[in-house]
Every structure is written in structure tokens, then in C-alpha cells.
Structure 1
């Protein structure tokens, strides 16, 4: 029964996410209260979305077999290229977006769009890239190595990407952002780096350590329960992240705003996949490796971006709109890139995206 439910959920995850968005727009109250909840924790404030993200990434870490990574590390050029390109995405793509949006009449809408995209593109590679890459016939251990490497480096790459991108699109750059003070604070020691370490890296390492302690046999027995918990957490986090932004946007509908929040992230997402596909042809790699590089470049951890946006831009919930749309659109793009007829199944079911 559990296996059938999980197979259904994996197949219709995009539809389930849309259902969570619809629920958040119609009944935002519980989600807003959960989003605002602060949990007692020494030294640092811990919110409910941060806790959900940590559980999700711990579950993802539990699905990583360290032994599968050893062979990949013997040829590190591919994983290094994938991690490096993914980390450089905000620096490469955001200035072009800022220039193209100069004629847009509402500077406030351009600002929240750029900030939302900056947060998405600065995040590490999504764990869901392994699932989609496997379905497309990619080299799964290579994708997992890139996901793990990108995650472990995120306390450095996330604030660095935010700082560099903020300079490029700020007043001294393209001028897409009039004020980068909050982004500078986010890129500081107590901002994105601390968030990435506490909410992304440590939970993932904890999950990997738990698998090593359990052993492969006991870990395999635990995986069905892990999949079920992971699905529930993904959908709950999806609802909580969407509650504030969609409720406000739907209460005062702005067609131009919705067009901007879907069209631009869609174009950026498509360019990310195209860039990954183009760069994957440079190294002399076989088709599975090229597929892996394409998905690693094209998919970012939008769940982490949404949690970070909720914490630092609660006064501007519209910042979540491009993040939510990007989360959906990268799955649509991944399904387009995936070759039909190639079957596969990930180790932990739906993975963080």
C-alpha cells in the first residue's frame, strides 16, 4: 500500500504541489501561523520552516550511499564543473535579467523579482536532480556527488553568490536594485552562510551519518518510512511557504505581476538547463554524464530559497512569488528534458527541490 502511494506521489508531485499552492491561496491562515512560529533553540532563532527544511535534508542525506561516491571521485572534473557552474549562475544570469527589465514601469516589482531569483540561483543543487537525472538515464552517483558537494560548499557559495550578484545588479552595476543593504546583511556572517550551515549542511551530514550507523540493511528497511515522512514534509513546506505570498497576491490581483513572476523565472530556468546542456558537451564525457551535468546546472534547492526569503524578507512576501513559480517551472523543465520511456526510481522518493 505504502509503495503504491509513494509511486503515485512521485508521479504526480507537480500536481500535489499545485494543490498545496491552491490551498495556501484559499486558506492561508494556518500556514502563516506556522511560518511565524519561533521555536526555542539556544543561540539562534529556529522557525518552523527551517525545522521542516532540516528534516527534509536529513531524509535526503539518509538516501546517500557514500560508497557510490568513491568511483565518481576518481574522475572529479565532471562533478567539479557541475558544482562550479551551478554556483556561478546568479553572477551569469542576473545582470542580463536586470538589463532586460529596465523598461518595466514598476521598479518595486523588478526588485522583488531580482531578489527572489537571486536567492534561488544562489542555492545549492536540488536533491531532486538525482531523481530526474535517473529517469533521464543520467549517471546517478555523479549527480549525488554534485548535490553533496554543492550542499557542503553552500555556507561559502551562497553568501558569495549573493554578494557578487548584489553588486552586479545594485546601484553601481545595472541598477536593478536601488538598495542592497538587506542583501549585504544576508551575505554577512550571520546571514546566508549561517543558514546554509545550520539548515542545509548539518542536517544532510546527520542523515548520511545515520545511514552509516544503521548499515545498509537497516537503512533499507527504514527507507519506506523515510519516503512517507519526506513527502509529507515537502508538501507541508510547500503550503507554508506559499501561504503568505499567494494570499496577498490573490487579495489584490495584478495580472502584470503574475505574468512577470512566471515568465521571467521560466526564461531563467530554461536558460539554466540550456547552459548546463551546452557546457556538458565540453568535457569528453558519455551521454549519462552529460545528462547529469545538465540536471545539476538546471535545478536549485528552491525550498531552501523560500525558507530564507521567509526569514529575511517577511516584509516583502512578494519575493516568494518568483521562488514558488521557479520551483514548479524547474520540475516542468526537468520533465521536458527527461527522455520518454526511460524508467527509474530514486532511493528516497520525492527529494528536496
Structure 2
């Protein structure tokens, strides 16, 4: 089974592209499954369950000793978590000003909301595996992911509130109406979402590993990894089905180009910001790689599930989220090289 898991992991990006194509060609099963709830009238949908499972399995992969290992480097840990939380506040107003020349205000609003949701999310769990592959400090990036995830009930609503104000009518002007975002950032919105579907599953996974012990977790690891990979691909298909099916039935090539271009630009800027911060904090090579990935990668699956819940009437919001999801993995391969020629961090 381990060989199957490794083969899927090596081809994960290609398989995600296959899921996108499948969602574009055969969207109806995904559109139906997106609406499946746990019970009559239940607000919990299948994508929410899949997201919680994905975060829980990520938590199951966290070793407490990895978290203790970075206790002596609090500046780098705080820098990564803070940089990720401040991304929407720093980048979105600039992007909004650049987009004011776009002739379709409705498209700009969908784009701004989609990118806002992505950048407000915590660090993606995949940053740990990408950072490890690039030779980064695994303990540091895992601690950043966990820290960002545990703080998400606070940082996500804060990021949405401040960013919506900055790009709203009183700011850059990309959003004509921020009422829905204000509601999302309120007491029954993003904070509850982050606590129920991001923070709590992550804690449950961490606690489960501590209770079960390393030996039992190691025996179950191949099955858990395979389930998680299937879960990621299914969630990818379901999220894509909500946007790509309509995008092809009502083609809008200019908005598609705009969404991909804007998502790609912000994605690269996020990675570059992480690399700059790693130099500013004088990280060695391994810590610099970890900080770069933690700053550059956001939990796009959570953003897509949140968009499907609150912006189902505007499926175009999902397009920049899907574009960012794919492009940040491509950027991870590009930026997975040392930020400086020094190799003193490697062992």
C-alpha cells in the first residue's frame, strides 16, 4: 500500500488537474454532492466533512516533539504565522487599486472576494510536505501550520473585516457592498467555521496521535495517507464542479484570464514576501525555506468550502480560489530552492 501512496503523492498535481478537467466535463455529480447534508435541514455539507477530515489527518501527522523543537526560535515562528495573517491586509488593497480599470465591476468584486477568502485562510497543511521536499526545517513549518490553524478563529474573521474595509467603498472601491463579508466575519460566520472545521479537527488529530502512540500511528500511516489523498482529490473535484461547470456553460474567457493572472501574481508575491522575511530575520537555509512556504501557501480548500457556503449565488468567486490552489503548488516547485547560497542549515 505504501507504494500506491507514494505513487499518488508524486502525481498529486497531475491528479488535481485531472479532477479539474473532470469537474469541467462532468460537473453534475459534483454539484449534487456539494449540496448533500448530514441530515434534513443540517447546515453541515459533504465538503465541510471532507475538509474536517483533511485537517484532522494533517493534525495526526504532527509530532509534539516537532513543536517543542522550535521553542528556541520564537521570532521565526511568530514571523511566519504573522506574515500569513497579514497577507490580505498588505496585498489586497494594492490589487484592488490595480483592478479598478477593469470594465466589469461585478467580475472585479467576485475576484476580490475570492482572493480575500484565500489570503485570510491559515497556512496550508501541504506547506509541511512541500517544505520537507525542498529541504526545509520540517519542525518549524509544522509549528507554523499548527500555530496558524489554532489562531484561525481569530485571524480569519479579523482578516476578512479589515480587508473588506480596505477594498470596500471607503477604501480601494473594488467591493460595492461588504454586507455579506461583514456577516461572514461576524459571530456566526468565519470564526465559527474556523473553530469547527479547522482548529478543532487539527487539535483532535494531534491529541489522537499523542493518545495512540507513535507505534500505532506508524502502522496506520499508509491507510491514513491514502484516505487523505483520496479526500483531497474528491474535495478538489467537488469545489471545481461548482465553478467550472458554469464557466464552460457560460464562457467568459476574459474573467478566466483575469482570475488566473491575478491569482498567479498574488501567489508569487506571497512566496517572495516569505523569502524576503526569511532574509530579514537572517534565517539559515532550512528555516528560510520553511518560512517561504508558510507565507506562500494558504488553505485553499477551506476558502472554497467557505465560498460555497456563503457565496453560492456567485459561483465566479470560486474561480480565483481554484486558480490559486493550482498555482500555489506550481509556485511551491519554483520556490522550493534555497533563498541564499549558504547551506549552513543543512545536515
- Fold shared by both chains (TM-score > 0.5): yes
How far apart are 1:166 and its partner, in Å?
0.1
Q: Distance in 1 between matches of 2:73 and 2:29?
A: 48
Q: Distance in 2 between matches of 1:223 and 1:41?
A: 35
Residues 1:284 and 2:299 aligned together: no
SS at 1:154 equivalent: helix
Q: Distance in 2 between matches of 1:190 and 1:257?
A: 31
How far apart are 1:257 and its partner, in Å?
1.1
How far apart are 1:41 and its partner, in Å?
9.2
| Structure 1 residues 1-353: aligned runs within 5 Å | 2-40=1-39, 45-339=43-337
Q: Distance in 1 between matches of 2:32 and 2:227?
A: 22
1:93-135 deviation per Cα after TM superposition (whole angstroms, max 9, x unaligned): 0000000001100111100000000000000000100111111
How far apart are 1:28 and its partner, in Å?
1.0
How far apart are 1:286 and its partner, in Å?
1.1
After TM superposition, the score normalised by the length of structure 1 is: 0.94
Q: Distance in 1 between matches of 2:337 and 2:134?
A: 5
Which range moved further: 172-181 or 285-294? 285-294
Q: Distance in 1 between matches of 2:336 and 2:269?
A: 16
Q: Distance in 2 between matches of 1:73 and 1:4?
A: 35
Q: 2:342: which partner in 1?
A: none
Q: 1:348: which partner in 2?
A: none
Q: Which runs of 5+ in 2 are unaligned?
A: 339-347
Q: Distance in 1 between matches of 2:98 and 2:282?
A: 35
How far apart are 1:40 and its partner, in Å?
3.1
CA RMSD of aligned residues (A): 1.2
Q: Distance in 1 between matches of 2:116 and 2:40?
A: 29
Q: Distance in 2 between matches of 1:336 and 1:146?
A: 21
After TM superposition, the score normalised by the length of structure 2 is: 0.96
- Aligned residue-pair number: 338
